[in-house]
Structure 1
Amino acid sequence: MVLTPRGLRFHGRIFPCSIGRNGVTRRKAEGDSATPAGRLTITGLWYRPDRLPRPAPWARPIGPGDLWCDAPDHAAYNHHVRAPSKASHERLRRPDPLYDLILTTDWNWPDAQPGRGSAIFLHQWRRPRFGTEGCIAFARPHLLWIAARAIPGTGVIIPSSLSKYP
Structure 2
Amino acid sequence: MGLSHLMVHRRAGRAHQGLLRAGALTLPVAIGRAGIWPDKREGDGRSPAGTWRIERLLYRPDRATRPRTRLPCFPLHPQDGWCDAPGHRLYNRPVRLPFPASHEKMWREDALYDFVLVLDHNSRPAMQGRGSAVFIHLARPGFAATEGCVALRRADMLRLLARLQPGARITLQPG
TM-score under structure 1 length normalisation: 0.92
Q: Tell whether 2:167 aligns with 1:153.
A: yes
Q: Tell whether 2:148 aligns with 1:134.
A: yes
Q: CA deviation at 1:59?
A: 1.0
In the aligned structure 2, how far is the partner of 1:136 from the partner of 1:97? 15
Which residue, 56, 77, 81 being the options, matches 1:63? Answer: 77
Q: Tell whether 2:7 aligns with 1:2.
A: yes
Q: 29-38 or 6-15, which moves further after superposition?
A: 6-15
Cα distance per residue 1:106-158 (max 9 Å; x no partner) = 11013100000001100001123311000000111001111222234211011
Which residue, 93, 116, 124 being the options, matches 1:79? Answer: 93
Q: Tell whether 2:66 aligns with 1:54.
A: yes
Q: Which runs of 4+ in 1 moved over 6 A?
A: none
Which residue of structure 2 lines up, in the alignment, with residue 37 of structure 1?
A: 49
Q: Which has the higher strand share?
A: 2
Cα distance per residue 1:33-62 (max 9 Å; x no partner) = 110101111011000000011113621000
Which residue, 145, 158, 161 being the options, matches 1:144? Answer: 158
- Report if aligned partners of 1:71, 1:77 keep a CA contact under 8 Å in 2: yes
In the aligned structure 2, how far is the partner of 1:82 from the partner of 1:152? 26
Name the amino acid aligned to 1:79: R
In the aligned structure 2, how far is the partner of 1:147 from the partner of 1:110? 24
In the aligned structure 1, how far is the partner of 2:62 from the partner of 2:34? 33
- Report if aligned partners of 1:42, 1:151 keep a CA contact under 8 Å in 2: no
Percent of aligned pairs with the same residue? 43
Name the amino acid aligned to 1:13: L
TM-score under structure 2 length normalisation: 0.88
In the aligned structure 2, how far is the partner of 1:84 from the partner of 1:31? 22
> Structure 1, unaligned stretches of length 5 or more?
162-166
